[in-house]
Structure 1
Amino acid sequence: MSKKVQKKKDRLKNLKENQKRNAIIGAILAIFILGIMINYFNTNYIYNDKISKNMFVENLDVSDMTKEEALKVVNSNKNPKSIYLVYEDVKHEISPEDIDLTYNTKETIEEAYNYTKTDSYFENVKRYFDVKKNSKDIKIKSSYNEVKLSEYIQKVSKDINVEMVNAKVYVSGGIGYNPSVTGKDLDIASTKESIISNIKDKKYGEIQLKVNLKEPEVTTEDVQSVNALLGQYTTKFSTGAPSRTHNIRTAAQKSSNVLLMPGEEYSYNNLTGMRTRSNGYKDAPVIINGKLEDALGGGVCQVSTTLYNSVLSSGMKLTSITNHSLASNYVPLGRDAMVNDGGTDFKFKNPYSHPVFIKNSVGNGTVTSSIYGNAGDKPNLNIYVETFKVNGLDAANTYRIYKDSNGNVIEREHVDRSVYKKPRK
Structure 2
Amino acid sequence: MKRAGFILTVLLVQLCVTLSLGSVATYASTHDRAPSGLIIWGRNFSGLNRAEIASELKKEIPDVIVYQGKSFPLKLERFYAKIDNWLNQIFPPVSGVWYLDVLQSLMHKPVLNPVLELDQDDIVSQLKAIGAQINKPMIPATISYLNRHFEKTSGQNGQALDIDATFHKITNDHVNKQVEALVQEIPVQPTPVEIDKIKDVLGDYTTYFNPQDAPRTKNVRLAANAINNYLIAPGKVFSYNKVVGERTEAAGYRPAYIFVGQEEIKGDGGGVCQDSSTLFQAVCEANLKVVERHMHSLPVSYVAKGQDATVAYGLLDFRFQNDTKGYLLVSALTGENWLRIRLFGVADANHPAQQPDGYPVRPDIFNEDFK
TM-score interval (norm. to shorter): 0.5 to 0.7
Q: Equivalent of 1:83, from 49, 58, 62?
A: 62
Paired AA for residue 350 in structure 1: N
Greater share of residues in strand: 1
Paired AA for residue 379 in structure 1: A
Normalising by the residue count of structure 2, what TM-score does the alignment of the two structures yield? 0.58
**CA-to-aligned-CA distance 1:188-239 (integer Å, 9 cap, x gap):** 6x755764676xxx55456677778888885554434324544444444443
- CA RMSD between the two structures: 6.1
The residue that corresponds to 2:131 in the other structure is 157
- In the alignment, is residue 179 of structure 1 matched against residue 160 of structure 2? no
- In the alignment, is residue 340 of structure 1 matched against residue 310 of structure 2? yes
- In the alignment, is residue 247 of structure 1 matched against residue 236 of structure 2? no
Percent identity among equivalent residues?
18
SS at match of 1:259: strand
**CA-to-aligned-CA distance 1:226-275 (integer Å, 9 cap, x gap):** 24544444444443221121221233234433323334454545655676
Larger Rg: 1
Matches within 5 A, 1:18-417: 41=19, 45-48=23-26, 49-50=29-30, 55-58=36-39, 59-62=44-47, 71=49, 78=56, 80-81=58-59, 83=62, 94=73, 114=98, 117=100, 127=104, 131=107, 134=108, 136=110, 152-161=126-135, 168-171=142-145, 174-177=150-153, 179=155, 184=160, 186-187=162-163, 195=170, 203-204=175-176, 218=190, 221-268=193-240, 271-272=243-244, 280-285=252-257, 293=264, 295-296=266-267, 297-308=269-280, 310-311=282-283, 315-317=286-288, 319=290, 320=293, 328=301, 334=304, 337-341=307-311, 348-374=320-346, 379-380=353-354
Q: How far off is 1:97 after superposition? A: 8.9
Contact 2:207–2:359 (Cα < 8 Å) also in 1: no
Contact 2:277–2:309 (Cα < 8 Å) also in 1: no
**CA-to-aligned-CA distance 1:144-202 (integer Å, 9 cap, x gap):** 999986664344333455567765543455332463756746436x755764676xxx5
Contact 2:166–2:181 (Cα < 8 Å) also in 1: yes
Paired AA for residue 340 in structure 1: T
Q: Which runs of 5+ in 2 are unaligned?
A: 361-371
Q: How many residues align?
A: 336
Closer, same or farther in 2 for the Cα pair 1:178/1:366, shift >3 Å? Answer: farther
SS at match of 1:157: helix
The residue that corresponds to 2:369 in the other structure is none
Closer, same or farther in 2 for the Cα pair 1:137/1:179, shift >3 Å? Answer: same
Q: How far off is 1:357 after superposition? A: 1.0
Q: Which runs of 5+ in 1 are unaligned?
A: 1-23, 25-29, 63-69, 387-425
CA distance, structure 2, for counterparts of residue 326 and residue 316 of structure 1: 24
Normalising by the residue count of structure 1, what TM-score does the alignment of the two structures yield? 0.52
Paired AA for residue 353 in structure 2: P
SS at match of 1:250: helix
Contact 1:101–1:142 (Cα < 8 Å) also in 2: no
Closer, same or farther in 2 for the Cα pair 1:262/1:87, shift >3 Å? Answer: farther
CA distance, structure 2, for counterparts of residue 39 and residue 309 of structure 1: 100
- Choose between structure 1 and 2 for higher RCO, CA contacts under 8 A separated by at least 6 residues: 2
Contact 2:160–2:183 (Cα < 8 Å) also in 1: yes
The residue that corresponds to 1:423 in the other structure is none
Closer, same or farther in 2 for the Cα pair 1:253/1:109, shift >3 Å? Answer: same
The residue that corresponds to 1:403 in the other structure is none
Closer, same or farther in 2 for the Cα pair 1:322/1:171, shift >3 Å? Answer: same
